[in-house]
Structure 1
Amino acid sequence: MYNTYIARQAILDRNRVTIGYELLFRDSPNNKFPDIDQDVASSKLIIQNHLQGDIRSISMGKLAFINFTEKCLINKYPLMFDKKSIVIELVGHKVPTERLFKIVKFYFDKGYKVALTEYDLDEKWDVLFPYLSIIKVDTEKVNPKRLHKVIERLKNHNIKLAAEKVETNFQLQALAEVGFDYYQGYFYHEPEIVEGQTLAPIKTQMLHLISETFHSPLDYDNIATIISHDVNLTVGLLKMVNNVATSTRIEITSLKQAAAYLGEDKLKQFVTILALSKLTTDKTDEISKQALITAKLMTALAKEGVFEEISDFAFITGLLSAIEIILRMPINEIVKTMPLAIPIENALIDHSGLLGELLDLTMKYITGDGENINQLIDTYSLDETYIQQEFVAACQWCKELGI
């Protein structure tokens, strides 16, 4: 478990109504961009606040303006987001190359909003105008009075002008007269730090997963097995499925189903972002180990008898059994970010239903909570010797994973 940080700065319209927030990666409570590669920063922002967190919450339900380098765009990272929830900010581009032109047109055709940043008023950028939604101008580097000719060239395009680094009311009034639509700067809102917490994937599992994605076609059984050994990878996968599901509700019952639902392209994006973000660790805490043992034991107990009818849900339910403690969030909030089947949701939230009974029994047995255990064992006609054998087997399985 480690702390995560992100800076959020509001972008407002002429009526001072917030239309979105620019999200910027931070690696500490110090409100400044760290000395790291921009590709890594973008990947860390995505993994911390999209896969692990909820970017809709971070941006208060408004548009999230996210910086993407050309490498991130080529890897199609923006496709992991709902096109209605983000604005793609182009960063690190000095000239509009043929490759950049094709990239911008690709995302425009997909329905995404694209913002050109670091705009220097040069006519060379006009080639991108048909595919842009916003042009951001740094008012410290560009004299706004020089924009009149640009505004004339923009008349045939539906592009909004956004002024960056607005710091005084006088400056605001002058920019409004020039024709700016949006404003961002200390006058409105200093960047604020939003702190959260997340886990890191286990390095061994990450290496296995990267290796597995080199195969074609993908073996979803193997991928699901690797992901099932790491609670954090499981959470990331489920959140990604939830984020890309745009139509009817998807009810995930297994990790193989979740991986297959994403398909090869998005699953590979998921893995490359995890790898590039470098958010890996060699350690797993005891809570995650307990979740793995719970998942394995629940699966064994559901092989026969009354629990057989919910056997398909057993492993993923056990794997997520400690997620409230791990993420330090209320479980009813966590499940909103995952497309889980209703029986799994109910079992995790209040241990209700047959699946909830199995979860309750398993967790109490593992933690040594003797109260009501014998009653549950009798109610479901379970063999206590069998439970003990499977518990030992689950512990050994967890040990053999090397974590």
Structure 2
Amino acid sequence: MHHFSFARQPILNLSLDVHAYEFLYRPTDQANDSNHSITAEVLASSIIDLGLDKASNNKLAFINMSYDDIMSPHIESLPANKLVLELLEDIKPDPALVLRAKSLHEKGFTFALDDFIYTPDWDPLIDLADIIKFDLTTTTLQENKALIQQLRTKKITFLAEKVETYQEFEAYRDISCELFQGYFFCKPEHIKGKSITANSSTQTQLLAVVNQPDITLDELKNTIEQDPNLTYMLLKYLNSAYFSFSKPIQSIKQAIVIIGINNLTKWVTLLSLRNMSSKPSELLRISLVRAKLAELIAVEKKFTNSSSFFLAGLLSNIDAMLDSTMQNIIPPMSLDSDIANALLHREGAIGQVLTNITEYENQNALPTGIEISSAYLEACQWTDQTLNSLIS
């Protein structure tokens, strides 16, 4: 049996909406330390056995392909209309590979050239490629601009990878890149001299109140009902097909009685975060994946305060949502000290789990002592179902 972990990284379009996900793989078997790709055979079985197709949320999935992967007969068993085959930069484009790529292209497969640096050897594959990816850490803006000009007559979409700042996003947008990969949108855009807006401040104060560990039923009810828009959205959401309660929920008090204070607090926090930021929706999606994954890890490790882990994950990107710093946002919220210290300093058990999760997102390291792959997949699927129900 093959053992590997995976994480998905969003690929955004010019509007900063998700165009696709790249799936990063890493073997959990230490005897095999290659983290570039998995075999086409394993990938095909994983799509069926693990439901990896569901983890793409109906978006295209970019998959790294080695030379041997592309030459494998198992490629044909993969769904061509759902995948982008990403040819790794260390592949040597020999005649056999070009012939194989032509055959797959004729069968409907889409190709991307990863971490691309031009040499004439790549010309036959450029003619087959739909996407060319630039690694911003190994090439310069001027080099990539010149290559885009050189290939302007080709029907190629250019993707900037490892985009870590909004300035890089804007620079590559201006030279005609249309797709962007990197966590630039998970960081505050402008901090210096920027204050939190009145609406965001109000929402932050609401979050501070509803997340007090000793809040009573009446205090929670009264706080939510002070915001008519939040009350409306919450009742609408709780009465959606996602929950499918046997009887309609007609009041906040009834909602608290049915689903409990802790669960209602989760949904209030989620809806408030959704309302307070105009940032890409994927930012909230990543936060919710972290929240659910942190909760699942806490349950597996038998921590008694799994809801605290959930809340910490959900708030882990609030600095980017509000274009401020954690030091400006968290102390006024008067959160439980374990949650506050985790968000501010990555301290304590909650802080360690958040650190593990962010490392896992980039497949930089695998946490020890837990089976995180299945939990991550569950968190992705739960998040997609939750947010899709909010939008519908």
Q: TM-score range by the shorter chain?
A: 0.3 to 0.5
Q: What TM-score does the superposition give when structure 1 sets the normalisation length?
A: 0.43
Q: What TM-score does the superposition give when structure 2 sets the normalisation length?
A: 0.44
